[in-house]
Amino acid sequence: MTISRTTQNQLSKGDFDSIEGDWLAKIEKDPSDLEYYVGVARALIGTGEEGRARSLLELLDDHLREKGLWAPRLQLLKRAGALYLAADKLHPTVSSTLGKLYGDRSTYKALYEAVGLHRAPTDIPKTWEKVDRLESLLAFDVGTVVAMEGKGVGRVVEANLGLESFKVDFERIRGLTVGFKAAPKLLKPLATQHVLRRKLEDPASLKALTPPELLRTVLQSYDRPLTAGEIRDILAGLVSESQWTSWWTAARKHSQVVASGSGARQTYRWADSSGDAVESVWKAFERADPRKKIERLRREGARDEGLRDRMAANLAEVGEKVADSDPGLAFEIWFAIERSGSKIVDQVDWTPDDLLADQPQRVFGGIEERLLRERAYAMTRERREDWPAIYRDAMTKESDPRALDLLADGLSEGAPRELDRLLDSLLAQPHRNPPAFVWLAERAAVDEAMRTRNALRMLQQILTALSRDEFAPYRVRLLALAESGGTVPRLLSHLSEDQAAQAEDAIQRAAPLEPYQREQLVNAIHLRFQALRKESGPPPIYALIGSVEAKRAELQQILSVEIPANRKAIEEARAMGDLRENFEYKSARQRHEYLNARAASLNSELQRVRLIEPGGMDTSEVRIGTRLHLKGARPRVVTILGPWESKPEEDVISYESDLAKDLLGRKPGDAVSLGGESWTIERIEPFQ
């Protein structure tokens, strides 16, 4: 316990009158500064002035009692009571002080006895343990509003001394029992102005507050900074989901709101003044690394013009230092200062043009923000005649698909030969530049010109890349290209019949492909190139998924319901006697043969089934799974599906029918004859 240097000098000189004078003067100004009083009293005792220390403490005690300052008096008794009160006087004095401090509480007397304060009055250490327990329990007096994690806010409605427990009514749970021992750990009493208490007792007053005032109420209710997620949860019911974004934008702009950290972990607190908030932000800015400084300028610069300019000036110094070693960072700093609106940008000796003129590739490689990197690419094209070579080189280092799109589009417009050379290089050796090859493969899904460059080569390279270590970070993206509508199915329509066999071989050998993906791709090749179908064994049956599921359900019904029931019928018929004249037995046996034959047939058909996948289908010619719009004496629509979907009366025909075989392979504009009438194929579309 420390005392001031002045008091120490007075003690060393034995100037006790001055000490007493200071003591008496301080009692009038600040009687609650127990650090001072107890420190001086113990120092006096250390110099042999026990009587003087006792007298001064008694004066302080009398003053606190006369002024009704019972809480400081209780602390004085706890910290120095033994220095000025006899042992037999301390317990009664503590007891009377507690009565003055808490006597109006409805549970005081009962809790006083429950903790045993009326027993063992001479055991002073135990007395203070009981006082601590009493105060912790009195914090949950009947009527106290409390918060409990997972339960929300509630009110203490009963203190059961017999069971030593409190009963609390929460909004969703009534009468929750919490033991005396557990209460200090589980329940947190809420002060009158705490936002959660006001939310319970007077939500209308909170709703009437402006966004900054309500945010201040929330932040000042807690002794720690809060995240945006925590603030949103606290205000549930006061600020609706639809209002949250606009409310939060308005609330956090207040000059006394101080943010710390970044991302989801960013926290907020309320500074005592705008000046304190600005200084706090500045100190956090000074401690941050350069890119965090850029973020803080963007986020906090608008709160105060002076603060913004201090941040901008600091960043300008950083940019000048790193212009040679990290030109990409310097580029980001320059634009951060410009976007902040600070005039400091006019005083910076270096510019983005200077950086790009000297070392453009190092600038590109050092810029972390994609949009700013794209701006650097655009500036390079505007200012340098050798931009095509720079773009081509940048494409070998860029990894973001959108930035690669910008570079490729630039080359396509201004230097198509450079782009062609790059694309040929990517197709020839994709492992040398995985990010750019994956971009090329993904773009080919929507860019037919890229698909037609060398369809077979691209398909083979995509499937090979699935197994290469260099493409491990991109495997999920590559697998997605094999899905319906992706690049791989779209490449199939650009293959010749000779290339189709090579493509099928590549698909069969691509181990990372899911079985269903491999099956769909092979089926698509067979649909287009009938000659590739294997002749051994029965031909496949093409069907829609709905029809397949119906056949599976029928097979399951036969196996699990009808055949067991038939077996039981055979046993019952056999028990009737002579089998030669037993009609029920013969009928059951015939049923048995039919069911087994039907089950075998269904099982065989399901093993041969191939799904018709209309999505992403090439509609340049008539295929299984397409719908034909015919033009003739009257409009007509014919759909070609499998035998299980065939409905000739609705113009849904099986691909096995003679009519369908005559139509397969036809193209829009071809003339066809149906039922003796002439028609022209107007258009072809996938069946949906």
Q: What is the pLDDT of residues 72-86, one digit of tens each?
A: 999 999 999 999 998
% of the chain with per-residue pLDDT over 90: 47
Give the pLDDT confidence score for residue 59 in this predicted structure. Answer: 92
d(CA 277, CA 632): 80
Non-local CB neighbours of 89 within 8 Å, separated by 6+ positions: none
Q: For residue 364, which amino acid is it?
A: F
Q: What is the pLDDT of residues 261-305, one digit of tens each?
A: 777 788 998 888 878 888 888 998 999 999 999 998 998 888 889
Q: Please give the average per-residue pLDDT across 301-319, as a whole number.
A: 91
Residue-averaged pLDDT of the chain: 89
Q: Is the pLDDT of residue 615 over 70?
A: no
Going by DSSP bridges, is the β-strand pair 165-170/152-160 parallel, antiparallel, or unpaired?
antiparallel
Confidence label for 361 from pLDDT (cuts 50, 70 and 90): very high
Q: Say which range, 279-293, 394-408, 460-474, 501-515, has the weakest mean pLDDT.
A: 501-515
Q: For residue 52, which amino acid is it?
A: R
Q: HSE (CB half, 13 Å, CA atoms) of 167?
A: 9
Nearest to 183 by CA among 148, 214, 229: 148
Q: Domain 5-137 belongs to what topology?
A: 1.25.40
Cβ–Cβ under 8 Å, residues 490 and 445: yes
Give the pLDDT confidence score for residue 534 in this predicted structure. Answer: 58
Dump strand ranges (E) for 139-210.
Answer: 145-148, 152-160, 165-170, 176-179, 188-189
Q: Which residues pair with 228 in a beta bridge?
A: none
Confidence label for 536 from pLDDT (cuts 50, 70 and 90): very low
Can you list the pairs that 483-486 forms with residues at least 24 positions away whose Cβ atoms lie under 8 Å?
483/517, 484/520, 484/613, 484/615, 484/616, 485/445, 485/615, 485/616, 486/445, 486/616
d(CA 197, CA 189): 9
Q: Say which range, 4-18, 608-622, 664-678, has the weakest mean pLDDT.
A: 608-622
- Alpha helix positions (H), 158-273: 183-186, 195-201, 203-207, 211-220, 228-234, 241-251
Q: Is the pLDDT of residue 481 over 90?
A: yes
Give the pLDDT confidence score for residue 231 in this predicted structure. Answer: 92
Q: For residue 367, which amino acid is it?
A: I
Q: Is the pLDDT of residue 633 over 50?
A: yes
% of the chain with per-residue pLDDT over 70: 98
- Alpha helix positions (H), 103-150: 108-114, 124-138
Nearest to 459 by CA among 431, 485, 492: 492
Structure tokens at 145: 């509003």
Give the pLDDT confidence score for residue 676 in this predicted structure. Answer: 76
| Consecutive H or E run containing 357 | helix 352-358
Q: Angle at which helices 401-414 and 434-443 pack, to 10 degrees?
A: 70
**Interior/surface letters 71-88, b for 16+ CB within 10 angstroms, e for the rest:** ebbbbbbbbbbebbbeee
- CATH, domain 543-611, list 1.10.287.180, 2.30.30.60, 1.10.3210.10, 3.20.20.140: 1.10.287.180
Q: What is the pLDDT of residues 641-653, one digit of tens each?
A: 999 999 999 999 9
Give the pLDDT confidence score for residue 605 in this predicted structure. Answer: 87
Confidence label for 105 from pLDDT (cuts 50, 70 and 90): confident
Q: What is the pLDDT of residues 111-144, one digit of tens each?
A: 888 888 888 888 888 999 999 888 888 888 888 8
3-state secondary structure of 147: strand
In terms of pLDDT, which residue wins out, 538 or 99?
99
Residues, the chain, total?
688
**In which order are the strands placed within the sheet that holds 176-179?**
176-179, 165-170, 152-160, 145-148, 188-189
Q: Say how far residue 644 (Cα) sits from the centre of its chain.
A: 46
In terms of pLDDT, which residue wins out, 572 or 531?
572
Confidence label for 580 from pLDDT (cuts 50, 70 and 90): low
Q: Is the pLDDT of residue 167 over 90?
A: yes
Nearest to 335 by CA among 373, 390, 365: 373
Give the pLDDT confidence score for residue 239 in this predicted structure. Answer: 92
Q: Please give the average per-residue pLDDT across 237-242, as a whole number.
A: 91
Q: Is the pLDDT of residue 519 over 60?
A: yes
* Domain boundaries, given as residue ranges, for the chain: 5-137, 147-270, 274-350, 543-611, 626-686
Q: What is the pLDDT of residues 421-480, one digit of tens each?
A: 999 999 988 999 999 999 999 999 999 999 888 899 999 999 999 988 999 999 999 999
Full 3-state SS string of 262-331? CHHHCEEEECCCHHHHHHHHHHHHHHCCHHHHHHHHHHHHHHCHHHHHHHHHHHHHHHHHHCCCCHHHHH
3-state secondary structure of 556: helix
Confidence label for 581 from pLDDT (cuts 50, 70 and 90): low
d(CA 419, CA 417): 5
Phi-psi region of 642 (alpha: psi -120 to 50; beta: other; left: phi over 0): beta
Cβ–Cβ under 8 Å, residues 154 and 175: no
The CATH number of the structural domain formed by 626-686 is: 3.10.50.30
